[in-house]
């Protein structure tokens, strides 16, 4: 039996996604998108996501499916907000934790383009409802786990539970030994 390349869960309203070195299979990615959509709807569009990767990432086709799914789900969120007479939640946040300097550089560069309104950012914003909040991305090394959790606004007192979930999910995957995130490695 082939070991998984992607696994996920949630703790205290934070989605946890753990990638092995390889790209996820299409069935794994589909399962993640279904989980993400249902959990985000339950939280009325509020999303905090912790991504831990040993180098694996979705393929171009998988990213495209996620973009399409995001558009569909966003209309559900807008209807939910309207039915409640509420406003969209604050901007979604995604913290990517990896030891790869290349991946951290790419994530942070793309976020700067999105945030600073360059062409990529304008296209990105044009794809979503202006009030819905485009996810903000930030990359961290494993030694910066405390900063990653702080940036995600992890509820006080749930950090240890969240890191235990990361370890539990990591153990389900292959090729993730370098991803070990020990509780005592959290930065202040």
Domain ranges of the chain: 6-185
Cα four-point dihedral sign 167, 169, 175, 179: negative
- Rounded CA-CA distance 9/22 in Å is 19
- Please tell me what DSSP assigns to residue 173: B
Confidence of residue 116 (pLDDT cuts 50, 70, 90): low
Tell me the average pLDDT across 90-101.
82
160 beta partners: none
52 beta partners: 18, 97
Confidence of residue 16 (pLDDT cuts 50, 70, 90): very high
Strands (E), 92-164: 93-97, 136-140
Q: Which residue has the higher pLDDT, 79 or 159?
A: 159
Distances (CA, A) of 118 to 110, 111, 125, 127: 10, 11, 11, 15
19 beta partners: 6, 53
111: tokens are 């976020």
Could you tell me how far CA 13 lies from the centroid of its own chain? 12
Q: Which residue has the higher pLDDT, 90 or 85?
A: 85
Cβ–Cβ under 8 Å, residues 166 and 158: no
| Per-residue pLDDT at 127 | 46
| Per-residue pLDDT at 174 | 65
Confidence of residue 126 (pLDDT cuts 50, 70, 90): very low
Cβ–Cβ under 8 Å, residues 14 and 48: yes
């Amino acid at each position: 039996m082939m070991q998984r390349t992607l696994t996920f869960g949630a703790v205290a309203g934070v989605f946890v996604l753990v990638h092995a070195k390889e790209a996820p299979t299409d069935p794994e990615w589909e399962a993640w998108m279904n989980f993400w959509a249902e959990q985000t709807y339950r939280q009325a569009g509020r999303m905090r996501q912790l991504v831990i990767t040993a180098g694996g990432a979705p393929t171009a086709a998988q990213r495209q499916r996620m973009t399409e799914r995001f558009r569909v789900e966003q209309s559900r969120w807008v209807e939910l907000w309207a039915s409640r007479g509420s406003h969209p939640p604050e901007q979604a946040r995604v913290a990517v934790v990896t030891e790869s300097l290349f991946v951290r550089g790419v994530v942070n560069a793309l976020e700067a383009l999105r945030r600073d309104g360059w062409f990529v950012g304008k296209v990105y914003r044009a794809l979503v409802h202006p009030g819905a909040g485009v996810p903000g991305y930030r990359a961290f090394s494993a030694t910066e786990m405390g900063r990653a959790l702080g940036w995600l606004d992890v509820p006080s007192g749930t950090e240890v539970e969240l890191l235990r979930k990361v370890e539990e999910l990591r153990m389900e995957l292959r090729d993730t030994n370098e991803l070990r995130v020990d509780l005592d490695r959290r930065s202040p």
